[in-house]
Structure formats: C-alpha cells, structure tokens
Structure 1
Amino acid sequence: MNSEATVADDLPPTLTIELDPPIEVKGGATYSELNLSEPLSGQVLNAEKHLKGNFGAAELRLYALTLVSQNSGVPMNVLRDYCPIGTLNRAANYLQRFIEAGQGTGAS
C-alpha cells in the first residue's frame, strides 16, 4: 500500500469554512464562506513564488494568502485585510495537507 496516497485519501475532497460574520467590502461584494478543494499545480506554483531565497514569517504568510485566495476565489486583498488569522490558518492547513501528501519521502 502506498502511504503517500493514504494521507490525501483521508482528506475530505472539499472543505467549506464559514466566515462569521461575513466579509462585506466596498462595492457591494460579500464573502460568507471559503470553498476549498485540492489545489491545482498552478495555484501551488504561484504561492511558492513567495518562498524564494531566505524567507521568514511574512513570506510564509504571503504563501498562505496566495494559496487560499487562488483556491477559494476570494481576492487576496480581502483575505489580507478582513479574514481572521485563525480562519486563514485553518484554510491554509487544509490545502497544505494535499501538497505534503504529494511529496515523495525517499522511501519506496
């Protein structure tokens, strides 16, 4: 049995995180939830662009914001300015588990 596959198989295929209270932004847009699913390769690559060279907490946060924004469809500036950090962390942790499940361990 392939242990790499079991980690991703244990994840729900989608995760909806309710935003309570909903985020209302100028222009009339309202975001009441983050709808997440397994990230696409391009979403991961776009997020990983923030991790070049020596990176610290700010770059890791930009990575998380980019990954969650691209996967959920909620604009990055909305997440950055209005999303509680606990909610962002929960979303990023869910998405990161797919990425980690797809990484080889060196064992065969």
Structure 2
Amino acid sequence: MLTETQQDMINGDFEKFFKDLKSKGKTLDFELFGDYAASILNFYVGSSLLTNQEKAESALLLVRLFNAGLGNVISAADQQEIATVIQQDPTLNYSIIQPVFDL
C-alpha cells in the first residue's frame, strides 16, 4: 500500500511533467504517457523510493491520473491492463523524466 507521501510524490511529479509539456506547447499522448510512466516508476524503484511490490499500485495511480485528464474514457479493466504493461516495462529514459527534476 502506498503511503500518502509516495502518492503525493507521484501526483506532484506527474503534474510537473504535464506542466512542462504544456509550457512547450506539446500534448500528452498515449505513447508519451507510457514512456513517462514506465521511466518514472523504474527511477523510483532504482532510487528505493518504491518497492517492486508498490510499483503495480503506482502504475495504476498514474493511469488513473492520465485517464482523468482524458475525461475518464478508459474503462477500469483497460486501466488495469495498461497499468500491468507499464509495470512490466523496463524502460528508463532520463530525457523524458528530466523535466520533473528541473522544475
């Protein structure tokens, strides 16, 4: 179970990432979201901010945030499937998550 601090970290970093995209006139599409989510979660695990067990719950939290931005159009079953794919993705692209640490 994620702590309130971990949830705040995930929410806050996603907001920073999204604000950076908006400031550059970019939009958050599905592919970019997947790359961001996998990279930030793998960074958190590598930095011992999350355990592998917490990664699944964190992936679902990120998918729910993304879905909220889309107007809640992704079904609960599809959200779970997307979160599972993100959780299993070993991607860690620092260039995608760099804006989180620059702001």
TM-score by length of 2: 0.34
Greater RCO (CA < 8 Å, at least 6 residues apart): 2
More strand by share: 1
Which structure's CA Rg is the greater one?
A: 1
